[in-house]
Structure 1
Amino acid sequence: MMFWYGSGMGMWGGLLMTLGSVLVLALLVVGVLAALRYLGRVAPQAGGASRPAEDILAERFARGEIDEDEYRRRLDALRGTMSAAR
Protein backbone atom coordinates (compact mmCIF):
# COMPACT_ATOMS: atom_id res chain seq x y z
CA MET A 1 0.00 0.00 0.00
CA MET A 2 1.73 3.06 -1.25
CA PHE A 3 -0.76 5.85 -0.57
CA TRP A 4 2.00 8.34 0.11
CA TYR A 5 2.95 8.47 -3.58
CA GLY A 6 -0.40 9.97 -4.61
CA SER A 7 -2.58 9.00 -7.55
CA GLY A 8 0.15 9.58 -10.10
CA MET A 9 -1.95 12.09 -12.08
CA GLY A 10 -0.62 15.26 -10.60
CA MET A 11 -2.14 18.69 -11.11
CA TRP A 12 -2.04 18.60 -14.94
CA GLY A 13 -3.71 15.20 -15.13
CA GLY A 14 -6.59 16.38 -12.95
CA LEU A 15 -6.94 19.57 -14.98
CA LEU A 16 -6.98 17.69 -18.30
CA MET A 17 -9.50 15.19 -16.95
CA THR A 18 -11.78 18.03 -15.82
CA LEU A 19 -11.50 19.86 -19.14
CA GLY A 20 -12.16 16.63 -21.03
CA SER A 21 -15.28 15.96 -18.98
CA VAL A 22 -16.59 19.49 -19.56
CA LEU A 23 -15.89 19.17 -23.29
CA VAL A 24 -17.75 15.86 -23.55
CA LEU A 25 -20.69 17.27 -21.60
CA ALA A 26 -20.80 20.37 -23.82
CA LEU A 27 -20.74 18.23 -26.97
CA LEU A 28 -23.62 16.14 -25.63
CA VAL A 29 -25.70 19.22 -24.86
CA VAL A 30 -25.01 20.75 -28.29
CA GLY A 31 -25.84 17.44 -29.98
CA VAL A 32 -29.15 17.10 -28.15
CA LEU A 33 -30.10 20.71 -28.92
CA ALA A 34 -29.21 20.27 -32.60
CA ALA A 35 -31.29 17.09 -32.79
CA LEU A 36 -34.26 18.79 -31.14
CA ARG A 37 -34.03 21.72 -33.55
CA TYR A 38 -33.81 19.38 -36.54
CA LEU A 39 -36.69 17.18 -35.43
CA GLY A 40 -38.82 20.11 -34.30
CA ARG A 41 -38.74 21.84 -37.65
CA VAL A 42 -42.16 22.09 -39.24
CA ALA A 43 -42.13 21.09 -42.88
CA PRO A 44 -43.96 23.49 -45.17
CA GLN A 45 -47.28 22.03 -46.17
CA ALA A 46 -48.19 21.85 -49.80
CA GLY A 47 -51.07 24.17 -50.51
CA GLY A 48 -50.89 25.93 -47.16
CA ALA A 49 -52.96 29.00 -46.44
CA SER A 50 -49.97 31.25 -47.07
CA ARG A 51 -49.89 30.41 -50.80
CA PRO A 52 -52.70 31.59 -53.05
CA ALA A 53 -54.35 28.87 -55.11
CA GLU A 54 -53.63 30.72 -58.35
CA ASP A 55 -49.88 30.57 -57.64
CA ILE A 56 -50.04 26.82 -57.07
CA LEU A 57 -52.03 26.40 -60.27
CA ALA A 58 -49.48 28.47 -62.20
CA GLU A 59 -46.64 26.33 -60.81
CA ARG A 60 -48.39 23.13 -61.88
CA PHE A 61 -48.88 24.57 -65.37
CA ALA A 62 -45.23 25.66 -65.55
CA ARG A 63 -44.05 22.17 -64.53
CA GLY A 64 -46.24 20.62 -67.22
CA GLU A 65 -48.53 18.75 -64.86
CA ILE A 66 -51.60 20.25 -66.52
CA ASP A 67 -52.20 21.52 -70.04
CA GLU A 68 -53.33 25.00 -71.07
CA ASP A 69 -57.02 24.11 -71.38
CA GLU A 70 -57.12 22.62 -67.89
CA TYR A 71 -55.17 25.59 -66.55
CA ARG A 72 -57.67 28.06 -68.04
CA ARG A 73 -60.65 26.02 -66.84
CA ARG A 74 -59.35 25.79 -63.28
CA LEU A 75 -58.30 29.44 -63.24
CA ASP A 76 -61.81 30.44 -64.31
CA ALA A 77 -63.25 28.19 -61.61
CA LEU A 78 -61.04 29.81 -58.98
CA ARG A 79 -62.00 33.28 -60.05
CA GLY A 80 -65.67 32.34 -60.23
CA THR A 81 -66.05 33.10 -63.94
CA MET A 82 -67.07 29.73 -65.31
CA SER A 83 -67.01 29.89 -69.10
CA ALA A 84 -70.23 29.30 -70.99
CA ALA A 85 -68.44 27.07 -73.53
CA ARG A 86 -68.82 24.00 -71.35
Structure 2
Amino acid sequence: MCGYGWGNGWHSGWGWGGVVMSVLMVLLVVAVVVAITFAARYLSGSASLHHRSGAGPEGMRAEDRLADRFARGEIDGDEFRQRMTLLREHR
Protein backbone atom coordinates (compact mmCIF):
# COMPACT_ATOMS: atom_id res chain seq x y z
CA MET A 1 0.00 0.00 0.00
CA CYS A 2 1.17 3.54 -0.10
CA GLY A 3 2.74 2.94 -3.48
CA TYR A 4 4.09 -0.50 -2.70
CA GLY A 5 2.31 -2.91 -4.98
CA TRP A 6 3.00 -6.52 -5.78
CA GLY A 7 6.60 -6.88 -6.93
CA ASN A 8 7.90 -3.91 -4.94
CA GLY A 9 9.33 -3.80 -1.45
CA TRP A 10 10.87 -6.45 0.74
CA HIS A 11 9.21 -9.59 -0.60
CA SER A 12 10.21 -9.14 -4.21
CA GLY A 13 13.94 -9.36 -3.51
CA TRP A 14 16.43 -11.84 -4.83
CA GLY A 15 15.07 -14.91 -3.00
CA TRP A 16 17.51 -17.80 -2.54
CA GLY A 17 19.90 -16.21 -5.00
CA GLY A 18 20.39 -13.33 -2.57
CA VAL A 19 21.17 -15.73 0.29
CA VAL A 20 23.66 -17.68 -1.83
CA MET A 21 25.32 -14.50 -3.06
CA SER A 22 25.58 -13.20 0.52
CA VAL A 23 27.29 -16.40 1.69
CA LEU A 24 29.64 -16.36 -1.29
CA MET A 25 30.54 -12.71 -0.60
CA VAL A 26 31.43 -13.53 3.01
CA LEU A 27 33.58 -16.47 1.83
CA LEU A 28 35.29 -14.21 -0.70
CA VAL A 29 36.14 -11.63 1.96
CA VAL A 30 37.53 -14.35 4.25
CA ALA A 31 39.62 -15.79 1.38
CA VAL A 32 41.03 -12.35 0.55
CA VAL A 33 41.97 -11.70 4.20
CA VAL A 34 43.67 -15.12 4.47
CA ALA A 35 45.54 -14.55 1.19
CA ILE A 36 46.76 -11.12 2.33
CA THR A 37 47.91 -12.58 5.66
CA PHE A 38 49.89 -15.37 4.00
CA ALA A 39 51.37 -12.99 1.45
CA ALA A 40 52.47 -10.59 4.18
CA ARG A 41 54.10 -13.40 6.18
CA TYR A 42 55.84 -14.77 3.08
CA LEU A 43 57.14 -11.39 1.93
CA SER A 44 58.31 -10.34 5.39
CA GLY A 45 60.25 -13.58 5.84
CA SER A 46 58.64 -14.26 9.20
CA ALA A 47 57.86 -17.88 8.43
CA SER A 48 59.08 -20.06 11.25
CA LEU A 49 62.56 -21.45 10.80
CA HIS A 50 61.73 -24.95 12.01
CA HIS A 51 60.00 -25.70 8.70
CA ARG A 52 63.21 -25.17 6.74
CA SER A 53 65.36 -28.18 6.07
CA GLY A 54 68.26 -28.85 8.38
CA ALA A 55 67.24 -26.34 11.03
CA GLY A 56 68.02 -27.24 14.60
CA PRO A 57 65.86 -26.57 17.65
CA GLU A 58 67.25 -23.05 17.98
CA GLY A 59 66.40 -22.29 14.34
CA MET A 60 70.01 -22.45 13.10
CA ARG A 61 71.51 -25.15 10.94
CA ALA A 62 74.35 -27.15 12.44
CA GLU A 63 76.81 -25.72 9.90
CA ASP A 64 75.82 -22.18 10.86
CA ARG A 65 76.27 -22.90 14.57
CA LEU A 66 79.68 -24.42 13.86
CA ALA A 67 80.69 -21.37 11.81
CA ASP A 68 79.55 -19.11 14.67
CA ARG A 69 81.70 -21.02 17.15
CA PHE A 70 84.68 -20.76 14.79
CA ALA A 71 84.10 -17.02 14.31
CA ARG A 72 83.97 -16.46 18.08
CA GLY A 73 87.23 -18.39 18.52
CA GLU A 74 85.72 -21.25 20.53
CA ILE A 75 87.21 -23.82 18.11
CA ASP A 76 90.28 -23.66 15.89
CA GLY A 77 90.49 -24.11 12.11
CA ASP A 78 91.41 -27.79 12.19
CA GLU A 79 88.51 -28.68 14.47
CA PHE A 80 86.15 -26.56 12.36
CA ARG A 81 87.15 -28.36 9.14
CA GLN A 82 86.97 -31.78 10.79
CA ARG A 83 83.51 -31.20 12.22
CA MET A 84 82.25 -29.61 9.01
CA THR A 85 83.42 -32.68 7.06
CA LEU A 86 81.61 -34.97 9.50
CA LEU A 87 78.42 -32.94 9.25
CA ARG A 88 78.43 -33.01 5.47
CA GLU A 89 79.13 -36.76 5.36
CA HIS A 90 76.20 -37.59 7.64
CA ARG A 91 73.38 -35.63 6.01
- Shorter-chain TM-score category? 0.3 to 0.5
The TM-score normalised by the length of structure 1 is: 0.42
Larger CA Rg, structure 1 vs 2: 1
Which protein has greater RCO, CA pairs closer than 8 Å, 6+ apart? 1
The TM-score normalised by the length of structure 2 is: 0.41
